[in-house]
Chain A
Amino acid sequence: MKMSYTPEMRESIRKVEATRQRRLKEIHPRIPPQEQEEVLKRFHPDYVEGGMRELLVGPNRGDRTPIELADLLEGRSHIEAAAFDLGRVDYECDVLVIGGGGAGASAALLAQENGAQVILTTKLRFGDANTMMAQGGIQAADKPNDSPAIHYLDVMGGGHFTNVPALVEALVMDAPSVIQWLEDLGCMFDKEPDGTMRTIHGGGTSRKRMHFARDYSGAEIMRTLRDEVRNRQISVVEFAPVVELVMDDKGQVAGAILLNLETGDYSLVKSKTVIIASGGGGRLHYQGFPTTNHYGATADGLVLAYRVGAKLAFIDTMQYHPTGAAYPEQILGQLVTEKVRGLGAQLVNVEGEQFVYPLETRDVESAAIIRECIERKKGVVTPTGQQGVWLDSPMIDILKGSGTIQTNLPAMVRQFGRFDIDMTKEPILVYPTLHYQNGGIAIKPDGSTDIPNLYVAGEVAGGVHGRNRLMGNSLLEITVYGRRAGKAAALRAKEVELGELTLEHLRDWERQLKEANLEPQIVSPLLLPDYTRHTRPVSMVR
Chain B
Amino acid sequence: MAEKLISIYIMGKKYEVPSSLTIMKAMEWAGYKLIRGAGCRSGFCGACATVYRIKGDYRLRIALACQTVVEPEMYLAQIPFFPAEKAIYDIEGLEPTAEQLFQIYPEILRCLSCGTCTKACPQEIDVMDYMAEAMKGDIASVASKSFDCIMCGLCAARCPAEEAQYNVALLCRRLYGKYLAPKSQHLRERIEEIEAGKFDEELAQLKSMGEEQLRQRYEERDIELA
At the interface, yes or no: B82 with Cβ under 8 Å from chain A?
A: no
Q: Contact between B91 and A185 (Cβ–Cβ < 8 Å)? A: yes
The bracket for how many chain A residues form the interface is 35 or more
CB-nearest residue of chain A relative to B30?
A533
List residues of chain A with CB within 8 A of the CB of B34: 295
CB-nearest residue of chain A relative to B210?
A161
List residues of chain B with CB within 8 A of the CB of A1: 69, 71
At the interface, yes or no: B43 with Cβ under 8 Å from chain A?
A: yes
| A415-B67 in contact given A128-B45, A194-B182 (Cβ < 8 Å) | yes
Contact with A along B112-139 (1 / 0, CB 8 A): 0000000000011000000000000000
List residues of chain B with CB within 8 A of the CB of A71: none
At the interface, yes or no: B199 with Cβ under 8 Å from chain A?
A: yes
Q: Contact between B32 and A414 (Cβ–Cβ < 8 Å)? A: no
Q: Contact between B40 and A153 (Cβ–Cβ < 8 Å)? A: no
Q: How far is the CB of A219 from chain B (nearest CB, A)?
A: 6
At the interface, yes or no: A6 with Cβ under 8 Å from chain B?
A: no
Smallest CB-CB A-B distances: 9 pairs: A186-B174, A195-B182, A157-B218, A186-B177, A188-B177, A186-B178, A142-B190, A165-B207, A149-B202
In chain B, residues 165-196, which have Cβ atoms closer than 8 Å to a Cβ of chain A?
A: 170, 173-178, 181-188, 190-191, 194
Q: Contact between A197 and B20 (Cβ–Cβ < 8 Å)? A: no
At the interface, yes or no: A330 with Cβ under 8 Å from chain B?
A: yes
Q: Interface segment, A9-17, A228-236, A469-477, A491-499?
A: A228-236
Q: How many contacting A-B pairs (Cβ < 8 A)?
A: 217
Q: Contact between A227 and B170 (Cβ–Cβ < 8 Å)? A: yes
Q: Contact between A411 and B148 (Cβ–Cβ < 8 Å)? A: yes
Q: How far is the CB of B86 from chain A (nearest CB, A)?
A: 6
Show the binding face of B for A, using Cβ within 8 Å.
20-22, 25, 28-36, 38-45, 47, 67-69, 71, 86, 88-91, 123-124, 143, 147-148, 150-151, 170, 173-178, 181-188, 190-191, 194, 199, 202-203, 206-207, 211, 214-215, 217-219, 221-224, 226
State in angstroms the CA–CA spacing of A353 and B175 once bound together: 47
Contact with B along A116-131 (1 / 0, CB 8 A): 0000000011011010
Q: Contact between A147 and B199 (Cβ–Cβ < 8 Å)? A: yes
Q: Contact between A186 and B194 (Cβ–Cβ < 8 Å)? A: no
| A186-B42 in contact given A143-B186, A230-B86 (Cβ < 8 Å) | no
Q: Contact between A176 and B190 (Cβ–Cβ < 8 Å)? A: yes
List residues of chain A with CB within 8 A of the CB of B36: 239, 262
State in angstroms the CA–CA spacing of A153 and B219 once bound together: 10
Q: Interface segment, A200-208, A302-310, A509-517?
A: A200-208
State in angstroms the CA–CA spacing of A143 and B184 once bound together: 10
